Amino acid sequence: MICKICGKEYEPPKKMGRRPSVCSFECHCALEKKQLDKKRERARQMSMAKTRNEIGQEYKCPSCGNVFIKNHANQKYCSEECFKKHKSEANRVYSVRYHERHANAPKTPKQIDKEITPFSEIIAKCKEQGLSYGQYVQQYNL
Ligand SMILES: [Zn+2]
Ligand SMILES: [Zn+2]
């Protein structure tokens, strides 16, 4: 057998299974890298061809729904206005989600404690125990 990578002649192992087409582990790694590079290059060319084909094609604006002709591969909106609108909409959605996430965030025990203990109740407890509000707060670490 001739190694695909270094061209050296080698004796393939007589094991069962897939026969290696390279002589050594190093050459095996080199071969895999080569195949990966080839794959990547093919994928890159395909995606380039795809975007190239999109120029001049009809495309529906996701913002206003108008159909327009693409002038460049990355064009997604019919106009700059729609692009801006989309951007501000995305920002709005993001900020709403952000607030929702924070509103639903689990509360710390301290927060819950403060919520279920109204101020008037604390004052009542202070009187009960003969403490000032300051002393009470200190004692219970409120
Ligand atoms: Zn080799
Ligand atoms: Zn539009």
Give the ligand at the shortest distance from the Cα of 67: 2
pLDDT value, residue 32: 94
128, pLDDT greater than 90:
no
Threshold 0.75, pTM exceeds: no
In this structure, is the dihedral angle defined by the CA atoms of residues 20, 21, 22 and 23, taken in order, positive or negative? Answer: positive
59: β partners: 68
| Type of residue numbered 101 | R
Task: Categorize the per-residue pLDDT at 57 as very low, low, confident or very high, splitting at 50, 70 and 90.
Answer: confident
What Å distances lie between residue 10 and 13, 36, 44, 98, 136, CA to CA?
A: 9, 24, 35, 62, 86
Centre of ligand 1 to C-alpha 43, Å, is 27
Burial 68-94 (b: 16+ CB within 10 A, else e): bebeeeebebbeeebeeebeeeeeeee
67: β partners: 60
Centre of ligand 2 to C-alpha 66, Å, is 6
Span 12-55, pLDDT tens digits: 777 656 667 899 999 999 999 999 999 999 999 998 888 778 88
Per DSSP bridges, beta strands 67-69 and 58-60 are antiparallel
What's the chain's length in residues? Answer: 142
- 137 Cβ contact list (under 8 Å, min separation 6): 122
pLDDT value, residue 117: 67
